[in-house]
């Protein structure tokens, strides 16, 4: 099975690899990382770490399913040459879920202030990884990419903290 997957990737040219795997994966990673921030941080402020953990997991998994379906059903690949909608949907959905889960896991820590601090550090690492991927495959400057993604994250965290404090 693994040999078949490797052979499949070797057959793809750079354009196909970008359209069928890298771009859908990056969309999922960015969406999962950013879209889950507001509900997780609002839940942490309102109800503590335990609630934030389950809100984060539910949000990450729900967003993964939603993004996977959206990507998979929005384009069959025939019109655009982007490859199978099913494979793009799976890649997008998995990466969305992964992006939302990493900064949810710090809420296994019962002290909400410690969990929030660790979660913020994890989000910063996620933003660096996303920025590097954008630099590597989309040729966006690392600094510009970091600023763009971080600004989105800061705005979303602020929304979560404001709503959590209301």
CB 68 within 8 A of CB 101: no
8 pLDDT higher than 60:
no
Per the prediction, the chain carries an average pLDDT of 91
pLDDT, tens digit (0-9, with 9 covering 90-100), for 107-122 = 999 999 999 999 999 9
The DSSP result for 14-27, as a single string, is: HHHHIIIIIHHHHH
Q: 4 pLDDT band (50/70/90 cuts)?
A: low
Find, among 99, 75, 89, the residue nearest to 21 by Cα. 89
Q: Using CA atoms, how far apart are residues 83 and 72, in angstroms rounded to an integer?
A: 10
- What residue ranges do the domains of the chain occupy? 15-165
Q: 19 pLDDT band (50/70/90 cuts)?
A: confident
**What is the per-residue pLDDT for 81?**
79
**What is the per-residue pLDDT for 7?**
58
166 pLDDT higher than 90:
no
Its pTM stands at 0.88
Local structure of residue 104 (DSSP, 8 states): T
């Amino acid at each position: 099975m693994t040999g078949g997957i490797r052979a499949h990737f070797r057959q793809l040219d750079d354009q196909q690899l970008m359209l069928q795997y890298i771009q859908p994966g990056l969309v999922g990673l960015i969406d999962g990382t950013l879209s889950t921030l507001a509900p997780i941080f609002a839940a942490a402020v309102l109800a503590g770490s335990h609630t934030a953990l389950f809100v984060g997991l539910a949000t990450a998994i729900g967003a993964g399913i939603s993004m996977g379906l959206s990507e998979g059903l929005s384009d069959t690949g025939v019109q655009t040459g982007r490859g199978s909608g099913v494979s793009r949907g799976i890649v997008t959905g998995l990466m969305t879920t992964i992006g939302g889960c990493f900064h949810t896991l710090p809420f296994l820590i019962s002290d909400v202030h410690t969990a929030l601090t660790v979660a913020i550090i994890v989000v910063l690492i996620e933003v660096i990884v996303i920025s590097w991927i954008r630099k590597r495959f989309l040729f966006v400057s690392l600094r510009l990419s970091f600023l763009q993604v971080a600004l989105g994250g800061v705005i979303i965290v602020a929304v979560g903290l404001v709503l959590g404090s209301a």
